[in-house]
Structure 1
């Protein structure tokens, strides 16, 4: 039996799903339960007693079967109930930090069989999911919505700040005044937006059908942020972009707040001036703003020119030396870059 994905399992028990409906009915009935979300040899060897059913899953059936003392076993896709009133006998030597018998059993079965196990607590009035050695308490839709909306507000503020630092970076690039500190500031802000995005996305998954409006807002807020990150890395990273993304993502909160740690993660060439070391972009981000310029052609131009300053000073004849760039495209690129420079100067003045 393949090891289930935590995110997929959370979605299976989100509000609006049949399984969540059944679990909520158990809570309202003030009873407890253990529900094993998987059926196979790994689970069968831990089962004792009870009876086999193999009936279609329904919330009402789950509620009625949970009135018995034993566990309920369902298919991995939650389509059929396979067994009920089962006594689970996991290895008692498996370490657990739980105290209640039901929770200890649920955690051990999940660890030993490699399947998600849900424990409904009558006394604590909670639903806990065990998987991958983790315990996740399913929150109510109201609480999750409140957290998601708060995170969305924070995300919106950070996104505004990202656009500000990106605009400032553009101006500095045109004037050839970029330092490592400027690049680190942009990388830090973008990574913060991505982390908040991931947090809100987790709420969306857990909210299920109740999270559709949050998801629409999230998609609108983060549109283009990953593309902006990739362009910045293409301009300044000295190694593979995907590796750079991974190195930034691996930083903890304290390291991400440290400009030096971020610079090291990006392997920026810091000289004796440290974070004030001048850097020169390759021009990928600037070319991305040129209308109707295919990305493949933009990459070829940036690679051919080598730096943004050489690109900004290139003539149409020099641009035509790049494969895929003819007279019309060369003129379009030249005019597009000139407009970007002029717009940056005007914005700087006002």
Structure 2
């Protein structure tokens, strides 16, 4: 028997962010301009549907640059890469387009700048995540990864100049807790002028904080490898609401919704809207009666594409944004 869900509540904002939009467009424009194959180091973003769609269009996803033939076009994923990967790509003579999210690039620039001033770093993040590997790989030494408050006690910096940086897709609350432990142990640690956790991660978590207490369960659209999607599920659970993460509508299980009247739906920053619409359609089949959009932050951020892919300049983008704001 179908569940009878009185209301399906859609979080706002949800789904794609500007960095993900930009990364996917870089691969699509490179395919259009240079033809297939286009090689992409690592999944361009952590979403199964997006990766399979681009693979069908001619993208080849690799982990080692040795897999890329000489003279090929190579795209770095949205997560960023180490200096060693950049140098190897240059040595091999690839035609490179960098799809690193500009907010991750900001962290890389800060690390390089402060390293020249003699700073060492504590990085708050998840071991093995490609963004963490890319940021830590900006330096050959002097950067220490901490995944929780306990790790902070194991850090033994060589000098007294210490700065902190953060993976952009962390739980805002978890990062704040770890940062508090860092500041307690290293009171003079230098923090970023603006927090490293990206606007989209923050906005999606804020929306779940508003939505979760008013629903009986939360569904998060996102792939298992997506850090920010996992954080949304964890956040809802921390607020006492059962939460389920699905890669597609096929993952939904009718028994999750038996006896529930109100269900919340959100999507990670790498999950395309087509998946959200398919999940909505499936939840309607399972008995959802009404669908309501929450009020929330409207995101209008756009990042320019790399030179050579037909993008307008940043000045033109800003001018276009100002005119649309005044319409």
Q: Which has the higher helix share?
A: 1
So what's the TM-score if we normalise by structure 1? 0.26
Q: Which has the higher strand share?
A: 2
So what's the TM-score if we normalise by structure 2? 0.27
